[in-house]
Copies of this chain bind each other. A is one copy, B any other.
Amino acid sequence: MSDAPIVRPLPVSGFPEWLPEVRIVEQRWLDTIRATFERYGFSSVETPSVEALDVLTAKGETSQEVYTLRRLQADADDDSARLGLHFDLTVPFARYVAAHFNELVFPFKRYQMQRVWRGERPQEGRFREFTQCDIDVINVDRVPLHFDAELPRIVHEVLGTLGVPPWTLNINNRKVLQGFYEGLGIGDPLAVIRIADKMDKIGPDGVANLLGAQAGLDADQVRACLDLAAIRATGPGVVDEVRRLGVKSDLLTEGLDELAQVLGDLADLPTGSVVADLSIARGLDYYTGTVYEAKFVDWPDFGSICSGGRYENLAGSFIRRSLPGVGISIGLTRIFAKLLAEGLLPTGPASPADVLVVVPAAERRAAALATATALRARGLKVETYHQPDKLAKQVRYAARKGIGFVWFPPFDEGREHEVKNMATGDQTAADPAAWHPTSS
C-alpha cells in the first residue's frame, strides 16, 4: 500500500452502479425485454454512443443537455469537440437508417437497448447516464397506423412480465393538438404545443398565463386550449368529447380518426392501462402524430417511464427520402432505480453459480476441479472454492454469495460425492454425471 492520497472511490453523482445482487436482476430484466422484442420479430441494432454534433442537433433539438467530447491531450486539429454523446436512441436510429438505406429491408423493425447521456443536474429519477430500451418501425413513405397500437401492446407485455407496479399509458396525437389550435385561428401551433407541454410542471394557470403572455392568445383561445387539455378518456369516445368543444379543421379530424383507431386497437387491454390524455404533447419537435407517455399510477409526480410517438420527417434530415417512423422507449434505469429505492425489487443472489464445489484439502484440489468440470459440461454454473479451507468457512461463503448448492467431492478416492441444499440444509449423496439442481 502506498501513502499516496486516496482518490474518492464513489461513482460520480447521477451515474448509477449496482451491487452484483442488483445487477443480476437488471440483467434478467434486460434479457426479458430483449426476448419479448425478439418474439415480435424486431431486429437488434446498436449505434455508436457518439455522434457528430450536427446529427444530434439536426432537428434543432437543443433542449436536451448534450455532453460534448474533448481529448485530454487535444491538439490543434482535434476534431473531438464536434462530437457528442447521444441523448436518446431515436435520432441515432434515424441516422442509421439513412446511412444504411440501401442495405436494410423495409419496414425496418428494430429494438435498441443502450445507455444514453444527458448533462442534467441529478435528482430523483433523473440520471446523467441511463439505459433505454426502444422499439421503432421505420418504413419508406408510409408506416401503417396499426403499428401505433402494436408498439404499446409489446411494451404492455414487457412491463407485465417484469411485474412492474400499475402504470398508465397516456396517448395523444399531435395532429389533434395542432389541428385544434389551427381551428382556433392560432398562427403558430408549435409554440402553443411547447407551452401546453409544461402543464405537468406549471399547472393550468401557469400554462394559461404563458399562452396569453408568450403566444399572444386571447381569453377564448386560452380557455379552449385548457378545455382540450383537460380531456381524459379510455376509448374512442374521446372524439365526441373533443368535437363538443366546437373547433374544426381537417388536421383535427385526421388526428381524431387516428387517435380513435389506436385506442380501438388497444381496447382489449385491461381498463385504465391505456388512456387518451389530451394534455400530452411531448416537447420534442420531431413528433408529428401519435404520442405516448406512461406513468406509474401510484407515483404520478415521478414523471414518464416510457415515451415515444410517430415522426414523419426525422430521417429526412439525413437523406432525401420520406422515411416516417413510430417508436416507443422504455426508461429502464428510471423504472428499475425507482423500484429499488421503494424496496419493491427483490434482489438476486450475488453470484450466478448454481453450485460451489469445496476444496476439502490441498491434495484434493485436482479432484474438486475435475468435479466442477464435469458439472459445467452439463451446463451448470459452477464455482470452485479458491483454496483449501475449513469446510464451515466454505459453506458460509456459498451462503453469503447466494449459491444454492454446495458440492463435497469425496475426501478419499472411491467414496461418494455429496451435495448440500442450502435452502433446506439436506445433504445427500450425488453423482456429478447425473445430478441436477432440481433433483436435490
Binding site for B on A (CB under 8 A): 1-2, 4, 6-12, 15-20, 23-24, 27, 38-55, 58, 62, 65-73, 80, 83-85, 95-96, 98-100, 103-105, 107, 109-110, 115, 117, 119, 128-129, 137, 139, 144, 146-147, 313, 316-322, 350-353, 356, 376, 379-384, 386-387, 397, 400-401, 403
Contacts and interface: CB of A to CB of B under 8 A. Distances in A.
A238 B4 CA distance: 37
B104 A20 contact: yes
B40 A383 contact: yes
A42 B317 CA distance: 45
B65 A72 contact: yes
A129 B11 contact: no
Given A43-B352, A68-B72, 19 more contacts: A1-B313, A1-B316, A6-B317, A7-B55, A7-B318, A8-B52, A11-B47, A11-B48, A11-B95, A17-B48, A19-B100, A19-B103, A23-B46, A39-B379, A43-B351, A44-B352, A49-B49, A53-B72, A105-B401
A319 B47 CA distance: 37
Contacts of A100: 19
Contact of A109 (B129, B320, B383): B383
Contacts of A96: 9, 11, 17
Contacts of A104: 19-20, 350
Contacts of A85: 69
A338 to B, nearest CB: 19
B67 A80 contact: yes
A8 B70 CA distance: 21
A276 B242 CA distance: 78
Given A17-B96, A386-B144, A397-B105, A320 B43 contact: no
Contacts of A54: 7-8
Contacts of A41: 351-353, 356, 381-384, 403
A94 to B, nearest CB: 9
A24 B38 CA distance: 11
A400 B105 contact: yes
Contact of A48 (B4, B15, B19, B50): B15
A40 B382 contact: yes
A319 to B, nearest CB: 6
B69 A7 contact: no
A130 to B, nearest CB: 10
B43 A20 contact: yes
B71 A69 contact: no
Nearest to A127: B48
10 tightest A-B CB contacts, nearest first: A41-B383, A15-B48, A41-B353, A71-B119, A9-B318, A9-B98, A9-B99, A20-B43, A66-B72, A38-B352
B46 A1 contact: no
A237 to B, nearest CB: 23
Contacts of A39: 376, 379-382
